[in-house]
């Protein structure tokens, strides 16, 4: 697999706007968001074990075997297999559409994604149920990687990060709970309380603007937009029966 500086689905995209802290939106159907918490634990564990060098000291060439490389993915008509730098067989290229979501480009990249997932993921899990939510999350991440690959088919840079999947969660939350109040840190330092429609709407506009005006090749803007589109579509038919779209309630205390 080709190596190089990884394209990250997220770091600048999250941190340049705001950091979510808390929403006033209690759970209604489930007692605990097991899938949301499990995904956060898994992402952190993968980063600590595979990417810090503290447990399993893998080289960048080895880590890139878990990433999506558009040129390699499109050349995978015969079901080829990715290899570690050592020559050990790892995974089929197509499986990297899942594994790439659990790698991150640094602590800031990881923390930003997990904060968004923590604040907004539990209510989407509540609206779908545990099983459908994990399916929703993975499908959004896969669609994000495919969107990135379709728009940049010749790229040989490894794509990593959970932001495509998390973008799907954001789109679903915006469609379900636009009026809920959310505490955020604007520009990482100013605490403000605004509705989800403003908070997430501003983030979405920032992604669209960045796609056309930003010069950061290290951020996969097309993956962000692909995840958003997937989340907006999937929530329409994956939510529980009776869950309203564009709920006008502002959440709990």
Q: What is the pLDDT of residue 117?
A: 97
Is 0.75 surpassed by the pTM of this model?
yes
Dmax over Cα atoms in the chain, in whole Å? 56
Q: How confident is the model at residue 12 (pLDDT cuts 50, 70, 90)?
A: very low
CATH number at residue 172: 1.20.1540.10
H helices present in the chain, as ranges? 11-15, 34-46, 60-63, 70-74, 96-99, 107-128, 130-151, 163-176, 196-213, 221-238
Average pLDDT over residues 225-231: 96
Q: Is the residue at 76 inside a domain?
A: yes
Q: Is the residue at 232 inside a domain?
A: yes
Q: What pLDDT digit, counting tens, does each position of 65-95 carry?
A: 889 999 888 886 555 555 554 545 466 888 9
Residues spanned by the domain of 108: 7-238
Q: Is the residue at 245 inside a domain?
A: no
Mean pLDDT of the chain: 85
% of the chain at pLDDT higher than 70: 82
Task: Tell me how many domains the chain contains.
Answer: 1
Question: Is residue 194 scored above 80 in pLDDT?
Answer: yes
Question: Is residue 253 scored above 60 in pLDDT?
Answer: no
Q: Is the residue at 147 inside a domain?
A: yes
H helices present in 182-253, as ranges? 196-213, 221-238
Q: Residues 84-120, buried b or exposed e (16+ Cβ, 10 A)? A: beeeeebeebeebbbbbbbbbbeebbbbbbbbbbbbb
Average pLDDT over residues 157-166: 93
Q: What pLDDT digit, counting tens, does each position of 20-58 carry?
A: 999 999 999 999 999 999 999 999 999 999 888 777 766
Q: Is the residue at 1 inside a domain?
A: no
Q: Is the residue at 176 inside a domain?
A: yes
């Amino acid at each position: 697999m080709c190596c190089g500086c990884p394209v990250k689905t997220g770091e600048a995209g999250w941190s340049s706007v705001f950091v979510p802290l808390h929403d006033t939106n209690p759970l209604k159907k489930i007692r605990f968001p097991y899938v949301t918490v499990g995904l956060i634990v898994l992402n952190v564990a993968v980063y600590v074990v595979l990417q810090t060098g503290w447990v399993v000291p893998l080289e960048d060439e080895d880590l890139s075997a878990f990433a999506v490389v558009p040129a390699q993915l499109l050349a995978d008509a015969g079901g080829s297999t990715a290899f570690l730098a050592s020559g050990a067989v790892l995974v089929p290229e197509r499986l990297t559409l899942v594994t790439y979501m659990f790698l991150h480009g640094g602590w800031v990249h990881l923390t930003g994604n997990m904060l968004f997932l923590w604040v907004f993921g539990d209510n989407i899990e509540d609206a779908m149920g545990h099983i459908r939510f994990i399916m929703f999350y993975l499908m959004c991440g896969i669609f994000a990687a495919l969107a990135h690959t379709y728009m940049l088919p010749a790229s040989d840079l490894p794509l990593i990060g959970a932001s495509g999947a998390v973008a799907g969660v954001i789109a679903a939350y915006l469609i379900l709970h636009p009026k809920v109040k959310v505490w955020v840190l604007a520009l990482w330092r100013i605490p403000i309380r605004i509705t989800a429609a403003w908070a997430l709407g501003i983030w979405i506009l920032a992604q669209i603007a960045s796609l056309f005006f930003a010069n950061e090749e290290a951020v996969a803007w097309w993956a962000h937009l692909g995840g958003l589109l997937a989340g907006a579509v999937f929530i329409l038919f994956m939510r529980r029966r009776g869950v309203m779209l564009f709920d006008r309630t502002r959440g709990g205390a």
